[in-house]
Amino acid sequence: MLNPYQFHSQPQQLTGYADASTKIPSVAWEMADLGPETNAKKRELEHLWAKEPELAFLYSRDVIKKPWPPGEAAIAGNATFAFRYSRYVMGKPWPPGEAVIAGDAYYAFYYARDIIKKRWPPGEAAIAEDPELAFRYARYVIKKPWPPGEAAIAGSAKDAYNYALYIIKGPWPPGEAAIASDAYFAKLYQKRFKIKLRTKSGQDINQ
């Protein structure tokens, strides 16, 4: 959040200062840090923070240090801050934010791993589309093969190799085409599982 007034020794003399400092949430937040009574100023302007997911989260975490219902509607519409609010403010699952979190593969994975701490079906559709997160979900959350994520995983040499190594714990034919296309992971795969891979043209890959 850039505050254009922070570079001036007397920002109150600049055009627009009064309006910006009391009406524009992102600017008002930064400008409240200019004086010694930072948190007091932020409490006076809390009606502004409720409009912005990031500011509502920061206000609850850093200023009042507790859940803040007036800002929750904004927070619940943003995956990043819904996850952070759940983790750093609520310290537990936060159902109002789960719909938006479930649609974001990155935060759905971390919500399952760090907040729910078990399999979380609402987020699986998004996670299954991302090869790295699908592998990590199988490894760190489900801790066994996860068929819904295998199509994505099989398209990534790195994640297909890791899936074979840590989940299947043996050769994994569905991922071998992708692995064979990457010299580094092809060599690792062949050495680890004592098998030969072939390129799409049918040529052996040197071990």
**What's the pLDDT tens digit per position in 68-114?**
999 999 999 999 999 999 999 999 999 999 999 999 999 999 999 99
Residue numbers of the domain that contains 104: 66-127
pLDDT for 27 equals 77
Report the candidate in 198, 175, 196, 199 with the shortest Cα–Cα distance to residue 207: 196
Rounded percentage of the chain residues whose pLDDT exceeds 70 = 83
| pLDDT of 150 over the 80 cut | yes
* Total domains in the fold of the chain: 3
Give the C-alpha separation, 132 to 129, whole Å: 9
The reported pLDDT for the residue numbered 202 is 57
Same domain, 121 and 147: no
- φ and ψ of 198, to 5 deg: -125, 150
Q: pLDDT per residue over 126-141, tens digit each?
A: 999 999 999 999 999 9
The pLDDT-based confidence of 29 (bands split at 50, 70, 90) is confident
Q: Both 135 and 192 in a single domain?
A: yes
CA distance 179 to 182: 6
Residue matched to tokens 């109150």: 12
The rounded distance, in Å, linking the Cα atoms of 158 and 180 is 11
Q: Is 92 within the bounds of a domain?
A: yes
CB 87 within 8 A of CB 57: no
Asked if the structure places residue 122 within a domain, the reply is yes
